[in-house]
Structure 1
Amino acid sequence: MLLWINGPFGGGKTQTAHEIQRRLPGSVVCDPEHAGFGLRRMLPPELRGDFQDLESWRRGVVEVLDLALGKHDGVVIAPMTVTNPRYFEETVGRLGELGHDVRHFALLAERETVLKRLRERGFGHLLQYVAGKDAPLRRESWAVQQLDHCLERLREPEFAEHLWTDHTTVAKTADRIAVLAGLTLTPNKDGVLRGRLRRAWTGAKHIRFD
């Protein structure tokens, strides 16, 4: 089974994917973003744009996930924002056409909720402490620019199943996805502090500087 976790940038995809992986024995996170940034780095700066526009990324994601789904004995989790309907069909749709059990979930939230999460990503809490809670989201400027478009597009029926996350935790979102996919997660034994530390560490590991 493939769990494709969609959503706006800063919407909690990566945190949710790793929460599921932590509590679902045998599962693995295969992040399509890694391939995208690798292709982007191959190009001179003036030619770098949205790596999803590269056919090589879309075809490569399908090839790699098809291999993982065919050879790995466990659930594969792919956290990736895709809002272009054609690109969605060429990736998520194509994997379904290849015969895989694909479960797609779009994590949605109100604009202010996502902006708050963007401020808290990685070392965001430290930035707020040093520069104040209204410190500008300089490193997240691209995500902010894409936010309204992402939230509008992902509300469309073709991007179901929709999960609203404004008033829920990462662990509970993972639980909801598991129920909808017919999976059983191990109980979440994290307390509030341990959960925050775990999410901060996950966020820090996924900070990109390009």
Structure 2
Amino acid sequence: MWRDFNVSMINYISENYNGHIIVPMTITNEQYYNEIIQPISVRHQIKRFILYASKKTLLKRLAPRFESKRSWGAQQIDRCIKAFDNHITETKIYTDDLNIYQVVEKVASIAGLILDDDKRGRFRRRIDRVIMQCKHIW
């Protein structure tokens, strides 16, 4: 049901929105991945990326969300890395040494997208980032 909903939702958005759509998902089960990707790719051009990071980096990124090494997210890291190393091997973007802005630029570049200039100042970008981090916590 979850996979069917996602396929339907992505198809609907794609047919009713004239622009690029980014759908962030972490799917590590190869069967589920194929059940979502295959029907979408029949109707739409899609580009798939894996934002890949080491376990050490992922644990470091979970910390500001108050997720410990024993949290559910932290416990999924080994399983996800194994799946992305062995079963779901799309274009990997290694993010260990990249900040969020560099990741965005890299995805856009590989996807052939031209991003609008970010007209916010450094302070405003930082405030917006803190707000987004708070939303992840609550």
- Give TM-score, length-normalised by structure 2: 0.88
Rounded to whole Å, the distance in 2 between the matches of 1:205 and 1:154 is 27
Shift of residue 101 of structure 1? Answer: 1.1
**SS of equivalent residue, structure 1 residue 86:** helix
Given the alignment of the two structures, is residue 91 of structure 1 paired with residue 36 of structure 2, yes or no? yes
Number of residues of Structure 1 aligned to a counterpart in Structure 2: 138
> Could you tell me whether the CA contact under 8 Å between 1:58 and 1:91 is conserved in 2?
yes
Q: 2:97 aligns with which of 167, 171, 194?
A: 167
List alignment gaps of at least 5 residues for structure 1.
1-55, 125-135
Superposed CA deviations along residues 109-151 of structure 1, whole A, max 9, x for unmatched, are: 1111110110013xx4xxxxxxxxxxx718x711111111101
List alignment gaps of at least 5 residues for structure 2.
none
Moved over 4 A (4+): 189-193
Percent of paired sites with the same residue: 31
Rounded to whole Å, the distance in 2 between the matches of 1:110 and 1:192 is 28
Given the alignment of the two structures, is residue 63 of structure 1 paired with residue 8 of structure 2, yes or no? yes
Rounded to whole Å, the distance in 1 between the matches of 2:27 and 2:99 is 23
> Could you tell me whether the CA contact under 8 Å between 1:62 and 1:95 is conserved in 2?
yes
Q: In the alignment, which residue of structure 2 is the partner of 1:137?
A: 68
> Could you tell me whether the CA contact under 8 Å between 2:28 and 2:88 is conserved in 1?
no
**SS of equivalent residue, structure 1 residue 159:** coil
Shift of residue 169 of structure 1? Answer: 1.1
- Give TM-score, length-normalised by structure 1: 0.60
